[in-house]
Structure 1
Amino acid sequence: MYNVRDDEIPFVEKWGKDHGVEVKYTTTTLNQETVEEAAGFDGISCLQTIPYSKELFDSLNNLGIKYLSLRNVGTDNIDLPAAKSNDVKITNVPAYSPDSIAEFAVMMALYLSRKVGYMRQQLNQNHQYHFSPSFMGRLISEQTVGVIGTGRIGRAAIKLFKGLGANVIAYDKYPQKSTNGQYVYVKSLDEIYAQSDIISIHMPATDDNYHQFNHEVFEQMKDTALLINTARGSIVDTNDLMYALQSGEIAGAGIDTIENESADLQDSRSTKQVTDPDILKFSMMPNVLITPHSAFHTSEAVKNMIDISLGNLKQMVEGQTPEDLVD
């Protein structure tokens, strides 16, 4: 197991003991320099947003490793043709805890809607702590929330936003057959951009939606709108988002994932200071809440990610076909 965080270790050790399987783990990232650590093992469990390259799959093949089990959902960072040509089977964890990510998205929306960042800035920069008329916020129930992607996580977010009284509209290429009256599908993304006070992204990253949120889209959005991204960084053009926030094209953003995330971001033992200029700029803006890809991070999610990932590996090693096999 690569990229194992300290909070995962008790769950890893319990799973190994319960199933009588030897599980070796390391905090390092899986790459060309570290892949040799897996020599002699049957399969690998991994959690990272940096690429799984063709060269890496060539190395796995040379080591006789045919199974890679992700502890996350997304596969956009995997060279799938290279995996197939090297006969490496891949599984993911499609639903480790939709509620964890949905709650985080709603938390970000509440934080931004009530202008908490401006209050914190007043205290941190000016050492003042008092009521200010400029901090007047908006109720979620006063707003229209546009949810893009109505899979497990998107539907969990809709349920929570709806519970707070929001008017919810949604868009998905593959809409659900029933909405249970909780939300209304619109016919185009343009309608989401134009009508929404809050847009919450819950779709996987694909070639088609790379930089889907760019300058042209930010111009279509309300200047009072908030953007929440707990999905994938590549969906939002970072430079265009920065301009949109600074120029007033939109009012605020909740950023849990950003383009080109470093391996240090997912190293629980890293003590390196943040040097990414975009992250540092966003962190100083009162209309932004930026977090280190942590929306998933609850005790329930961590346990499920471990149990499902290692369970998938065990099934593959034993010649079975897991439900979570990635095509």
Structure 2
Amino acid sequence: MKFIAYNVRDDEIPFVEKWGKDHHIEVTSTTTTLTTETINDADGFDGISCLQTIPYSQELFERFHELGIKYLSLRNVGVDNVDLQAAKANGVQITNVPAYSPESIAEFAVMMALYLSRKVGYMQQQLQERHEFHFSPDFMGRLISEQTVGIIGTGRIGRHAIQLFRGLGARVIAYDKYPLKSTNGEFEYVDDLKTIFEQSDIISLHMPATKENQHLFNHEVFEMMKDNAILINTARGAIVNTSDLIFALESGEIAGAGIDALENESADLQDSRSTKKITDSDVIKLSMMPNVILTPHSAFHTSESVKNMVTISMDNLKTMFNGARPNDLVE
């Protein structure tokens, strides 16, 4: 039994090595992204662990079949970039890590909301561009306890976000296609997304990306939102139309945005060794706005998360290889 882990970051290496030693299993790490070309490096291995936002395509799974590799264990939650039908057709079983640290992402979402609510970006802009640093009436912020927070998606991450926002005194409303049976009085479900758009001062996204919700947040929705509203996206970039978001921010349709997930994320984004400069004009424009906080899909990135992502992913590979059914099987 031997496995290979692709797109391994420097912070993952100690956990990958420890897992291999603890289980007496050979595990090879590579920093390369998994593609139809680089999968040749997996020839002779029994399973692959991987973390990336670029697609796992039909052609890639055909190469899995040609190399006799039957197991792919993702080190993340989302499977929207995986051609699951092609995986099944080529006899590849897939697992993910549905709960590596919901608290990490929820805390990050709340941090973004606090940063934007208190207009810290405007203070930073004053200091960096004008080399001035003094009190300004334009920096007057809002307490979280004065605001209504709309949570879209009440899975593990969304529920932790609700607890944190509630702890700061916010009124929380939520929408989910599959609502929980009980809210324990912590928040109120609404019947449609329109209510979230129109009533929320802060909207925080904790939902998977699907074909149905691609560009859910577009010009029409931004027009419905309050002009003092803040959008937080620590979920998936495809949910938000980036060009429409930029227009909404520039025109004052909404007040701010915390963006940790971008449309069309490149492999370089998750390559800890990459030195490539940002060239995407939309990303550059967003990064220069004082009412935006932009981060490289790093809301998950805590020591607890990294450890759990590696450990659970490798455990799932071992379980599949031994012929058992893992709890995290994606079907």
Alignment TM-score, normalising by the size of structure 1: 1.00
Identity %: 75
1:209 to 201, 213, 225: 213
Partner of 2:92: 88
Q: Distance in 2 between matches of 1:173 and 1:146?
A: 14
1:127 maps onto 2:131 in alignment? yes
Give the drift of 1:317.
0.4
Q: Work out which of the residue numbers 198, 221, 228 in structure 2 matches 1:224.
A: 228
SS of the residue corresponding to residue 12 of structure 2 reads: helix
Which residue of structure 1 lines up, in the alignment, with residue 151 of structure 2?
Answer: 147
- Looking at structure 2, the residues matched to 278 and 21 of structure 1 have their Cα atoms a distance apart, in angstroms, of 44
Q: Which residue is equivalent to 1:183?
A: 187
Within-5 A mapping of 1:282-321: 282-321=286-325
Query: 1:246-305: CA deviations, max 9, x gaps?
Result: 110000000000100000000001111111111111000000000000000000000000
Corresponding position of 2:256? 252
Describe the SS at the equivalent of 1:90.
Answer: strand
- Bigger shift: 273-282 or 156-165? 273-282
What per-residue deviation string (whole Å, max 9, x for no partner) do you get for residues 180-220 of structure 1?
A: 11100011100000000000000000111010000000000
- Give the counterpart letter for 2:171 in structure 1: N
3-state DSSP class of the match of 1:23? strand
- Looking at structure 2, the residues matched to 7 and 233 of structure 1 have their Cα atoms a distance apart, in angstroms, of 24
Amino acid at match of 1:86: N
Distance in 1, matches of 2:252 and 2:135, equals 24
Which consecutive segments of 4 or more residues in structure 1 shift more than 3 A? none
User: TM-score scaled by structure 2?
Assistant: 0.98
2:162 corresponds in structure 1 to: 158
RMSD: 0.4
Give, as a single letter, the amino acid of the residue that structure 2 aligns with 1:35: I
Q: What is the DSSP-based 3-state SS (H/G/I as helix, E as strand, rest coil) of the residue aligned with 1:147?
A: strand
CA shift, 1:119, in A, is: 0.3
- Give the CA deviation at 1:33: 1.6
Cα distance in 1, alignment partners of residues 248 and 72 from structure 2: 39
CA distance in 2, matches of 1:26, 1:8: 11
Give the paired residue count. Answer: 327
The answer for unaligned runs of 5 or more in structure 2 is none
Counterpart-to-counterpart distance in 2, 1:157 and 1:21? 38
Aligned to 2:72: 68
Alignment equivalent of 2:244, drawn from 240, 245, 251: 240
1:169 and 2:150 are equivalent in the alignment? no
Q: Deviations over 1:88-136 (max 9, x none)?
A: 0000000000000000000000000000000000000000010111000
Matched, 1:138 2:142: yes
Counterpart-to-counterpart distance in 2, 1:146 and 1:294: 22
The DSSP-based 3-state class of the residue aligned with 1:41 is coil
In structure 2, what is the equivalent of residue 53 of structure 1? 57
Equivalent-residue separation in structure 2 for 1:116 and 1:244 (angstroms): 20
Distance, in Å, in 2 between the alignment partners of 1:32 and 1:64 is 14
Rounded to whole Å, the distance in 2 between the matches of 1:111 and 1:275 is 26
